[in-house]
Amino acid sequence: MTRSVAVATWLLAACASSSLGCASAEDANVGGARDLAVAVDAGDDLATAAPADLLRIGPDGGVIPPVSCATGKHVVVNEVKVGGTTASDEFIELYNPCGSTINLAGSSLVYRSAAGTTDGVIINLTKTIAGGGYYLVAGPNYSNGGTPDQTYGGGRLAAAGGGVGLRDGAQVLVDSVGYGTATNAFVESAAAAAPPSGESIARTPNGADNDNNATDFAVATTPTPRAAN
């Protein structure tokens, strides 16, 4: 425990750019300390810190910013639209329930087909998400207004069923939703409904995360990107 505290103290000193860890995976490099995870929570209570409170060391030895806050909450996949005016009129909205900004650089949004067992990368994330804020990524024919934080090419989300996941820089699955006919590993307890064309599935109430996609998500006839569901 003493050694763990010392390592945590060293890493926090190296990552003094914010209370949530390094601003990028290269802000602290511990060389050969591969796949190390050091618990960091509000009281540095390493004995009781939850997995969501871990400061991770990536495969290159750099510190990976946590996609979580000390309360155990984490960035969630908050709303998903799988098609509209065209197959690529789609978006994925992330929501940050924490009180502080979180750096998503190095994280990625990934997709699995309904019965898929491997990930396809939708997009690698590059920006921060403010506390209580939203991060919007969209297909090239996005039609719901405003400017997405990032866009990706082509339609990536099947209408009938699939799964969307958020992975951190160490490829740990932070959050996911399976919808429609999905039976893949991104389904939490039971799949959410598949949204009709032009509609979305949205956490209701906003940000709700009880690890059950079927009850956490409801079909939204009017999508609400960058706004509370």
Query: What was the pLDDT predicted at 21?
Result: 36
Residues of the chain short of pLDDT 70, as ranges, are 1-61
Q: How far apart are CA 222 and CA 121, in angstroms?
A: 27
CB 40 within 8 A of CB 51: no
The residue ranges of DSSP E strands in the chain, in sequence order, are: 37-39, 54-57, 63-64, 76-81, 91-95, 102-103, 108-113, 120-124, 128-129, 134-138, 150-151, 161-167, 173-180, 200-203, 217-220
Query: What was the pLDDT predicted at 44?
Result: 35
pTM of the model: 0.77
Q: How far apart are CA 77 and CA 91, in angstroms?
A: 11
Domain ranges of the chain: 2-64, 76-220
CATH number of 76-220: 2.60.40.1260
Q: How far apart are CA 133 and CA 138, in angstroms?
A: 17
Within a 10 A sphere around the Cβ of 97, how many other Cβ atoms?
18
Query: What was the pLDDT predicted at 58?
Result: 66
Name the DSSP letter for residue 53.
G
With H, G, I as helix, E, B as strand and everything else as coil, classify residue 196: coil
CB 40 within 8 A of CB 55: yes
Query: What was the pLDDT predicted at 61?
Result: 67
